[in-house]
Amino acid sequence: EAQVTQNPRYLITVTGKKLTVTCSQNMNHEYMSWYRQDPGLGLRQIYYSMNVEVTDKGDVPEGYKVSRKEKRNFPLILESPSPNQTSLYFCASRVPGTGGYEQYFGPGTRLTVT
Amino acid sequence: RKEVEQDPGPFNVPEGATVAFNCTYSNSASQSFFWYRQDCRKEPKLLMSVYSSGNEDGRFTAQLNRASQYISLLIRDSKLSDSATYLCVVNRGGYQKVTFGTGTKLQVIP
């Protein structure tokens, strides 16, 4: 089954404790992206990757890091989480290109930073 | 002004009704347009792409008006299962520059 998986699905952590949210896709997509979703603000892009070892900032990259060592995996790293990073996070993947293509989203990771 | 704006709703409509949502975008260079559906904080899923000539998929019709910079989604014969949040998505131009609207919530009532 074609899918995007994220782990963990739920996480409660404390300020400053480094964490990683994993994302993996089995569709051989070159393009992957991370979003956060907050009430009233919609989905906002954090980082995206056009291929292995190629990443770039989205609209809200501060406080986040990513890496793309393999095509299927695109982890999101919070080196020092803060309460304002409490949010619902989605990973997505799609075929590359500048046109319109369907994005496939993971099930989401609900993060709470206290 | 937000790049992509939607009426947040909620739109409460009876079963069988026809309902329409609009979405406006500010960047005239925007190239691609989509409607996604999101159920209760689950992952968004593509409902349909929006083409310049307009397109229809069953009970759903999407329209694009480039002159006025808006896209619309029409749902005919609403079903209870249509209850969800509908996200307008715009490719703002350039590689990977995608903006999501904040969504319009639809509640179909028996």
pLDDT band at B93 (very low <50, low <70, confident <90, very high): low
- Using DSSP, state whether A10 is helix, strand or coil: strand
Are A33 and B96 inside 8 Å of each other by CB?
A: yes
Q: How close does chain A come to B78, measured CA to CA in Å? A: 24
pLDDT tens, residue by residue, A39-57: 888 899 999 998 999 999 9
CA distance B106 to chain A (A): 16
Q: Which pLDDT belongs to residue B3?
A: 87
Mean pLDDT of chain A: 93
A107, closest residue in chain B (CA to CA): B43
Distance in angstroms (rounded) separating the CA atoms of residues B105 and B86: 6
The pLDDT of residue A97 is above 80? no
Contact of A100 with A74, CB cutoff 8 Å: no
Residue B1 has pLDDT above 90, yes or no: no
- For residue B69, pLDDT beyond 90: yes
Q: Which residues in B76-85 are b (16+ Cβ under 10 Å) and which e? A: eebeeebbbb
pLDDT score, position A70: 97
Nearest CA in chain B to A105: B43
Between residues B21 and A101, the one the model is more confident about? B21
Rounded average pLDDT over B63-81: 96
**B70 in contact with chain A, both atoms CB, cutoff 8 A:** no
Mean pLDDT of all residues in chain B? 91
- The distance of Cα B26 from the centroid of its chain, to the nearest Å, equals 16
Tell if the CB–CB gap between A43 and B100 is shorter than 8 Å: yes
Number of Cβ atoms within 10 Å of the Cβ of A38? 14
